[in-house]
Amino acid sequence: MRPFEVELRRAALPLVRPFRTSRGAETDKHVLLLQWRTEGPHGPVSGWAECGADPEPTYYPEYIDTVTRALVDVLVPMAREVAAADGPFLPRLRTALDDVPGMPLAKAALESAALDAELRAAGMPLSTYLGGHRDRIPVGVSVGIADSIDDLLDWVGGYLEDGYHRVKLKVRPGWDVEPVRAVREAFGDDLPLQVDANQAYRTSDIPHLLTFERFGLLLIEQPFPADDLLAHARLAADLRTPVCLDESITSLGSAAAAIALRATDAINIKPARVGGYLTARSIHDLAAAHGIPCFCGGMLETGVGRAMNLALAGLPNFTLPGDISATSRYFAQDITQSFELVDSCLVPPTGPGSGADVDLDAVEEVTSARITC
Ligand code: SMG
Ligand code: MG
């Protein structure tokens, strides 16, 4: 492996609409971007990745400051040691990362930047490397908690006009039955509709959640706390509507446990949360072997992460539409090329690596701090 350096940038992009879930609201996408700079066979190469961490520990225990420290103090020096030894770099980096406990978001960001750099140097698209075979990825839209039912219906109506065919509503106690009923009444029973509670319910809410059966939902995502697989198993046993895990799936082992316990009928695979694209692919393969359908989740990524997610979502067991919407659903101005909806699908880029064309001027404009390590 050639010598490399990694530049970390803290950046913020205004969202076109605030995004509120049971865990809080965001008006800007705060992101840690990684640029992995090295020499390729034909000159300098940059691999790009973004970290799924937020500024605060809202969804995950890791947040931007802890990820930055982990990368600077532990993971980048470790990658440098791996690079100095003989043998193929990426598999040995994966083994070294697996030896460090926890920190999946930091690991995912580092591995993704290295992967993008290696593939750009080799001229290979990430989708080819991962085994993706689709040139159109069916996608949906995730709709935050609104101030009123009228606002929600306006938003959903606008997204349907934009061409989305699958809608996910964020729910929480007090914002669940009414919004779901209103969307069903306004847009019909045929609209593929699912809900995501981001862990907001408790086992005592199971009787209430069973009443969601009447809405004919595609799935109910992560109703209970991430570590409560048994509560999900209890709900899944009594509900015909599929139960889908998101935050509970942090590794291949947790996916295997959830499947063995029958705690999940579907999996939302977020590469950022499981430690990277290679582990995401392993979870996809495990789920496929057990007949568990998957979709590729999202963290309001910039084009950098969106391009990578589209490459992953081309794998065959991503049979549910992904949380990967068009650029215009998130940002007026992104830091890469825009991704546009075509027949409710996005088209994965075909260039080497992630295929994201990073606009350096746009990145400069949104950067507030940087560190090279
Ligand atoms: O990227 O379109 C997107 C957002 C999809 O709802 C989405 N993600 O729990 O699935 C989820 C949430 C995670 C939090 S978004 C900051
Ligand atoms: Mg979710």
User: What pLDDT, in 10s, does the model give residues 34-92?
Assistant: 999 999 888 999 999 999 999 999 889 999 999 999 999 999 999 999 999 988 999 99
Q: What is the mean pLDDT of residues 329-353?
A: 96
Please pick, among 29, 107, 168, 170, the residue that the annotation labels catalytic. Answer: 170
The confidence score (pLDDT) of residue 133 equals: 85
The confidence score (pLDDT) of residue 1 equals: 61
CA nearest ligand 1 atom 16, residue: 299
The confidence score (pLDDT) of residue 159 equals: 97
Q: Is the pLDDT of residue 2 over 90?
A: no
pLDDT in tens, 18-39: 999 999 999 999 999 999 999 9
pLDDT in tens, 153-182: 999 999 999 999 999 999 999 999 999 999
Q: What is the mean pLDDT of residues 197-211?
A: 97
User: Is 23 exposed, middle or buried, given 0-12, 13-18 or 19+ CB atoms closer than 10 A?
Assistant: middle
With a 6 Å cutoff on the Cβ, whether 22 touches ligand 1 is no
Cβ 348 vs Cβ 310: under 8 Å: yes
Taking the mean position of all CA atoms in its chain, how far away is CA 105?
11
Q: What is the mean pLDDT of residues 235-255?
A: 97
Residue 25 has a CB neighbour count (10 Å cut-off) of 11
User: Of 353, 303, 349, nearest to 117 (Cα)?
Assistant: 353
Ligand 2 mean position, distance from CA 79 (Å): 31
Q: What is the mean pLDDT of residues 6-23?
A: 96
The confidence score (pLDDT) of residue 50 equals: 98
Please pick, among 29, 107, 168, 270, the residue that the annotation labels catalytic. Answer: 270
Dist CA 70 CA 34 (whole Å) = 13
Supply 148's token pair. Answer: 């009123």
Q: Give the end-to-end CA distance of the chain in Å, rounded to a whole number.
A: 17
pLDDT in tens, 97-123: 999 999 999 999 999 999 999 999 999
Residue that the structure tokens 């691999």 belong to? 47
Taking all residues of the chain, what is their mean pLDDT, rounded to a whole number?
96
Pocket test for ligand 1, best of 15, 21, 62, 167 (most atoms within 8 A of CB): 21
326 pLDDT tier (thresholds 50, 70, 90): very high
Dist CA 52 CA 33 (whole Å) = 10
User: If DSSP codes are grouped into helix, strand and coil, which group holds residue 4?
Assistant: strand
The confidence score (pLDDT) of residue 72 equals: 98
Which ligand ends up closest to the CA of 23? 1
The confidence score (pLDDT) of residue 68 equals: 98
Tell me the backbone φ, ψ of residue 273, rounded to 5 degrees: -85, -25
Which ligand ends up closest to the CA of 219? 2
Supply 279's token pair. Answer: 């582990």
Q: Is the pLDDT of residue 183 over 80?
A: yes
pTM for the model stands at 0.96
Closest atom of ligand 1 relative to the 21 alpha carbon: 14
Active site residue 170: yes
The confidence score (pLDDT) of residue 278 equals: 96
